[in-house]
Structures are given as C-alpha cells and as structure tokens.
Chains A and B, each alone.
Chain A
Amino acid sequence: MMNTIWIIGHKELIEAYRDMRSLLIITVVSVLAGPLLLLMLANSLASFEARAERNIVMVKGIEHAPSLANYFARDTALVITAPSDSVAALERNALLDPVLIIPEGFDAKLNNEEAVELQILTNSANARVNAGVARLKRKLSGYIAEKNNHHLVQYGVSFKSPLNLRIQDYDIANRQADAAKVFGMLPYFLVLAALYGVWAVSLDITVGERERGTLAPLMLAVKNSWSIVIGKWLAATVIGALIVLVAVIAFIPAQVMMSGETLKSMFAFGVHEATTCILLLMPLVGLFSAALIWVGVRSNTTKQAQALATAVLLMITLTPLTMQIAESGQQTLQHMIPVIAQHMHIMAMIKGEAIQLSDYILTGMSSIGCAFIFMYYAQRQLKLSDKHGS
C-alpha cells in the first residue's frame, strides 16, 4: 500500500510541477498578498500620523504651568482643556489627541529644580491619538530646551539636570492588544493562504481526473481506494505546505516596507513568529486538502466541485466570527475546532502571549483528525462511484 501511495503521490507532484503557470500564479499571489497587506496597513497608519501633525494640545491642569501655557501660545498651539473623564473618553475613542496632565505647582517646582512629573495619557489602540504623542513630546522637549537656555542666560549656569522634567507615558491600552486589533486580519489571511495553496491542485487531481477519464483506469489498477486518496492527499498537502511556507516567510522581509514607527513597534514578525505560524498552519493545510479532495471526489464536474468548494470557503471565512461572538469561556472547545484554534493561537502570538506545546498538539491533532474523517468519506465515495458509475 505504501508503494502505491508513493507512486500516486509522486505522479501528482510531477503533474503539478509541470503545470508551472498555475503553480506560479498561486505562489506569487500568496507571496505578495502578505506584504501588500502590511503596506496597506502602513499607509493607513502613516496617514493618521500625518493628520496628527495638527497644532492642538489637550491639557489638564494648564493653570499650574503658566510658563508652559506661554510657550504653547508662542508656538501658536491651540490649547484645549481636557475633559475630567479623559481616560474614559480615550477608551471609547471620543478624543483624537493625547492628554497632557500637569501636576499642581508645576512652575514653582520646576523653578526650584525639583523633580516634576508630567503624564501623557494616550490610547495606543487608537492610531490617531497615538500618533499625536510624538508631536506632544517634541513640543515638551522644545519647552525644556528653551527653559534651559533662559536659565543659562539668567544665571550663567544651566539646570542641575534637564531630566528634572519627566514625561511619563500613561498608556491605557496594552500595546500587544493594540497590535492584535490592527493585525486582526492577519490570521484570516494566513488561514486563507492555506486554503488557496491546496484549492486548485486538490480539485484538479480528483474531479479534473474524473473529467479527463483517467479516474476509471486508476481505480481499476489500484485495489485499495485508501491508497488513491492518501496518495493524492499527500501530494496536495505537500504543495499547499510549500505555498504556506513561502507566504509566511514573506512577512519577514515585508516588514521593511512599514514606514510608520507605530506599526513597526506593534508588528515584530521574526523567525519565532514564522515558525509558530507554520506549525499551526501545516495541519490545517492537511485538513483543507482532505476536505477539497472529498469535494472533488463527490462531484461529477469541475463546476459542481467549485460550487461546493465555495461553500467550504464561506464556512472557513465565517467560522472565526463565531469565536468573536462567543468570546467568553469555551476556550478548550475552541482549541479543538480547526480554523478557530489556528485563528486564536495566531492572535495570541500577535498579542505576545506564549503558546504551549499542548496547544500545538491539540490544534494539530484536531485538524488531522478532521482530515482523516474527510479522507474516510472520500475513499468511501470513490468506492461508491466505482460501483454506481463515475
């Protein structure tokens, strides 16, 4: 049986390799889609950063810092008093700028060269607010530099230390959580790349073969329908796995294309992340190829197979949405549902959470288990079509 599986798998690989045009199209699309996705995100965030260059400063406690108010006025900045519930307003994205919080006695303390702490409230989940932080920091640096110069001119010596003024970022959102929000579509993309990789080849080696008329002699030559299904599955999985491998690795150099600092700090996709994605996606490639082989085997025409495969695609696209609807609880159950499990773990990876070995095993086993079920039905269908006419 192993020899037959190898003969069938090997032949399918040769045929797929010789269909270079189809293979190239799928590979190029998979390789380019990731970097294009990142470029799109980078451009959209960069535009936020550019828009944040508007000269507005949202301040709480400006009355404690007349010198700073004077500096802002000379800098033609429009000073707006922040609402009392700034944190809540930032959380619900009601504010478009970061909030500078000035403590009581700011000027007096600064003149006495005492340590003063300024807080900047920001919500890094809101790219527009977050982009305004750099602008505010630049203004405060300018203010410190001017203060230093005045001190030097007035007393002949500079401040004891310009670090007396400390700016503390008070980030109300977790940076990795923000990354998860920004890069929420990444798991969708990767899961779909796993599907695209096996789509054409799985249908071609099943329903395509039926249409070409080569399935009948094949079934006559091979006694065991399991051998046919496993041989074809192996070939489709190998091709899909290679395409996913290339698509995932393409993200590493693609990061260079990200211009915005915000995005760069959020998205660090290195060898570790690539390995995690590959380990999570490989069993899924096996599952998708088994599902599409089943679709191909039970269809009489390519048209019929494509209609059925579209239903599979819709199911795969919609499945992660159920995860968002039922987010609380059911974690163990979700780990066991293919597509949802991969989606969850890739999101966790983006958030910077650790993925346990048991997670890999559970996710992999559930996908392979489902693949086996599809293969069982595919070989059963092959036997049935053998008896009832193909």
Chain B
Amino acid sequence: MIEVAGISKNFYQKKWIKAIQTPALKKVAFTAADGAITALLGPNGAGKTTLLRILAGLETASEGDAKINQHGCHCMHSDLGFLSDGCALYPRLTGYENIQYFARLHAIAAPRMAENLLKLTEALDLKPLLNQRAEQYSQGEKMRINLARALIHHPQTIILDEPTNGLDLVSVRRLRIFLKYLASPEGGGHCILISSHVMSEVQKLADTVVVLSAGEVKARGTPLELCNQAGHTDFEEAFVSLAGLAS
C-alpha cells in the first residue's frame, strides 16, 4: 500500500545570487491500495513524475510524508519495482543481461530469476529480444525489457511512469492484461501505481484515478465516479473539467 500524506515539493532555480522557488507539488495526498491499479492522470508538467520519484526514494519531499508498506520512502525497498524511463537500459548488454544484472543486484537466486523471467517473457513477448543488444531495440522494445527489468524481483509494490510510452497496440493490450493479473489475488494482489496522460488507457486499466494538475490533486475516484463528479458521460471531458484545463 502507498500512503501519500500532504507532500509538497519545491524546486529552486538560481538566478545570480537569488534562488527562485518553483512549486512542483502542493500538499498531495492519496492512498493506493494493494490489489488495485491506481493511475495518476494529469497533463504534462502536472508533477506526476516528481511525485513518483519521491515515492521511489529518488527525491525528497520539501514537506509531507509518504509511506510504502508502512516504510518511509527513503528506506530502500527491495519489494518496490520502479520504471522511471523507458530508455533506461545498458546499450551494450543484451536484454537478458540487462534483466539478469538487476536480478543479481536484488540478490534473486538463479532458479527464481529464471521462473520470474519466464512469466515476464510470456506476458511481455520478450523471447525475440532477450539475446539482442539493447542498442538495437526500438522504443517499444526498450520499454518492454525495461518493464521486465523493473519487475524481475517480483516486487509487491509497482510504480510505473508512463509505461505505455512507445508501445504498439498489441503490446499495450498485453501489458494491460499482465498488470491486471498482477493486481488480482491470483497474481499476488500487488499495489500498482502508474502515471499517464492517455485517457483511454487509464479508463481501461485503473481501478482508482487521481487527477493531478499544477501540482495539486483535483479529484480522485473510479473513472465512473469522476465522470459523475464532473457531470459528463465522456471520461475525457470529465478529466478536462476536473483538471481545470481549457478545452
């Protein structure tokens, strides 16, 4: 479970001797439950990536607190799978070696790694990619290997920053099925938090949606609840209305 309690984040830009403060997040609070997929939905620059990086422990919040499975974000979570950037692979290693490297760093024994990799290979159609060097991959292929890299240690909590970026339709469908499986009781009831700005994807995938705009949580609920809240039948219209965006 991820609990976010009043997180604020300010960035400072130095201009001569003066530091200009830019707020990226303003008292963000929400909960992402186990066994459910929570989506952070917001326009570009809403603060989605900053929030996910804080949750992964890669940045500190200026204010507020966040906990993953009762632990502070700066305790390293071996049961946290984080996908920050779809291109983040070692180009001169093969797909298999990229995944194996992180499995070894997470101290996953070889048989368990093989078992996890088999599941991921089937779910993400990795077989043709495993023996190729990462420098030869397309954007979508990089994303698939990167997902496998983030999930190889079978983490309880999964945080994915725009996981469908660069994926084709078939890969998006495969990923959707796989994430739903991971969140289900049969798949282990994982807590999954994703960020996206693609309405259709969020609507089909998320159990709960947190609408983030200009660093603030504007609304939260299921896609249907958000539509009702905004008084629109169309989810996209509801989002534009809730996020306070000019249509």
Contact = CB atoms under 8 A, between A and B. Distances in A.
Interface string A213-228: 1101111111100000
Contact of A387 (B60, B84, B101, B133): B60
* Main SS class of interface, A: helix
Contacts of A11: 90, 93, 97, 101
A14 interface: yes
A15 B92 contact: yes
A136 to B, nearest CB: 63
A218 B105 contact: yes
Interface string A195-227: 000000000000000001110111111110000
B60 A217 contact: no
Contacts of B150: 217
B168 interface: no
A388 B92 contact: no
A216 B84 contact: yes
Contacts of A14: 92-93, 97
Contacts of A7: 101, 104-105
Contacts of A3: 107
Given A7-B105, A11-B101, A217 B149 contact: yes
B84 A212 contact: no
A213 B93 contact: no
A19 interface: yes
A91 to B, nearest CB: 59
Contacts of B93: 11, 14-15, 18
A148 interface: no
Interface string A160-198: 000000000000000000000000000000000000000
A191 to B, nearest CB: 30
A389 B58 contact: yes
Given A213-B85, A213-B87, A389-B53, A4 B105 contact: yes
Contacts of B102: 217, 221
A18 B94 CA distance: 11
B90 A214 contact: yes
B118 interface: no
A18 B92 contact: yes
B210 interface: no
B89 A214 contact: yes
A208 to B, nearest CB: 10
Given A11-B90, A213-B85, A217-B84, A386 B57 contact: yes
A182 B85 CA distance: 55
A381 interface: no
Interface stretch (B34-42, B74-82, B122-130): B74-82
Interface in A16-34: 18-19
Interface in A370-390: 386-390
Interface in B108-127: none
Interface residues of A, number: 25
A387 B56 CA distance: 11
A281 B77 CA distance: 41
A220 B59 contact: no
A223 B80 CA distance: 13
A213 B92 contact: no
Given A212-B88, A216-B88, A222 B105 contact: yes
A11 B10 CA distance: 36
B101 A223 contact: no
Contacts of A216: 53, 56, 58, 82, 84-85, 88
B45 interface: no
Contact of B57 (A15, A212, A218, A220): A220
Contact of B90 (A4, A15, A388, A389): A15
Given A15-B92, A217-B102, A223-B76, 19 more contacts: A4-B105, A11-B97, A15-B93, A18-B92, A19-B92, A212-B87, A213-B85, A213-B87, A214-B88, A216-B56, A216-B58, A216-B88, A217-B88, A217-B149, A217-B150, A220-B58, A221-B106, A222-B105, A388-B59
19 contacts: A4-B105, A11-B90, A15-B90, A15-B93, A19-B92, A212-B88, A212-B91, A213-B88, A214-B88, A216-B53, A216-B56, A216-B84, A217-B82, A217-B88, A217-B102, A217-B149, A220-B77, A221-B105, A386-B58
Interface of B: 53, 56-60, 74, 76-77, 80, 82, 84-85, 87-93, 97, 101-102, 104-107, 133, 149-150
